[in-house]
Amino acid sequence: MNATADEIEVKMGAVSAVDLAKEREHAGTVGDITSPDPRMVCRDVNVWYDSNHAIRQVSLDIGRNEVIAMIGPSGCGKSTFLRCLNRMNDTIPSARVTGSIKLDGEEILDRGIDVVPLRARAGMVFQKPNPFPKSVYENVAYGPRIHGLTNSRDELDELVETSLRRAGLWDEVKDRLDAPGTGLSGGQQQRLCIARTIAVSPEVILMDEPCSALDPIATAIIEQLIDELREQYTIAIVTHSMQQAARVSQRTAYFHLGDLIEVGPTEQIFSKPRHKLTEDYITGRFG
């Protein structure tokens, strides 16, 4: 780890012995890694790409109905950790993941589990909107069809409409459901991808810099949407924008060179970071 327990003690000043012991247990991460109502429980997660140890002993709970932001300098492992949460790293041949990640109590790193339903339960929205080369309707209907979620065309129509409504896109596309999804604006395409994710009833939505390809207006719409979606879903978002993390999340996790340095309520992380590395990052001293 970057900070020894002694260094943490010095930096944190007056914290209780119990807090300190808890923090030492978690390889030096400062702050409470636990959630009172966790949806995902990650313990001692490590990721290697060949010999590059990209994530080191990361333990973190992700709470129900919360937005947790993952921030840190480029290359610190934010996306790698996010990809662990629905086994997307399986698609990278050099990647090796160890530790434990539970979704509603079920171990998802277990080799025996089927990743197709897992990726519906923990759906991913990517940096660059990536609609299928199909119509708006088919983009949303595809997942429910392959997962057999509806029994009739009417039910499917309803699910497509509900998903597009939840993604805040229905009014803009209801008259062009047969038009290609790729013909929409960037912000609309990203909301289409969110609708596609929602359509298969996920428990968790993973977002990897979902606004970085969007203009400020489209970004504001997505941020508003994230806030609304929190009522029904758990959301983990990787962002390079500290302002965005401050606006959309309730908890923030700060990564540095593969270590989870600090986690805490977003307001505290940005106003009173406890670890020197977090402070240096949020005050713009590096990153």
For ligand ADP, the binding residues (CB under 6 A) are 49, 52, 54, 72, 74-80, 92, 94
**Rounded to the nearest whole angstrom, what is the least distance from the CB of residue 83 to ligand ADP in the complex?**
8
**Rounded to the nearest whole angstrom, what is the least distance from the CB of residue 207 to ligand ADP in the complex?**
12
Which lies closer to ligand ADP via its Cβ, residue 63 or residue 287? 287
| Bridge partner residues of 238 (DSSP) | 70, 208
Which lies closer to ligand ADP via its Cβ, residue 166 or residue 275? 275
Question: Which of 159, 205, 184, 196 minimizes the C-alpha distance to 62?
Answer: 205
**Residue 126 corresponds to which tokens in the numbers above?**
């990517």
Please give the C-alpha separations between residue 207 and each of 74, 86, 140, 149, 194, in angstroms, as whole numbers.
16, 11, 18, 23, 9
The three-state (H, E, C) secondary structure of 16-67, written as one string: CHHHHHHHHHCCCCECCCCCCCEEEEEEEEEEEECCEEEEEEEEEEEECCCE
| DSSP assignment letter at 182 | G
Is the Cβ–Cβ distance between 164 and 181 less than 8 Å? no
**Rounded to the nearest whole angstrom, what is the least distance from the CB of residue 54 to ligand ADP in the complex?**
4
**Rounded to the nearest whole angstrom, what is the least distance from the CB of residue 101 to ligand ADP in the complex?**
16
Please give the C-alpha separations between residue 266 and each of 43, 68, 250, in angstroms, as whole numbers.
21, 8, 5
**Residue 210 corresponds to which tokens in the numbers above?**
């979902």
**Rounded to the nearest whole angstrom, what is the least distance from the CB of residue 221 to ligand ADP in the complex?**
24
Which lies closer to ligand ADP via its Cβ, residue 50 or residue 171? 50
Please give the C-alpha separations between residue 66 and each of 130, 242, 274, in angstroms, as whole numbers.
25, 17, 22
Which lies closer to ligand ADP via its Cβ, residue 138 or residue 209? 209
**Rounded to the nearest whole angstrom, what is the least distance from the CB of residue 78 to ligand ADP in the complex?**
4
Which lies closer to ligand ADP via its Cβ, residue 212 or residue 250? 212
**Rounded to the nearest whole angstrom, what is the least distance from the CB of residue 284 to ligand ADP in the complex?**
17
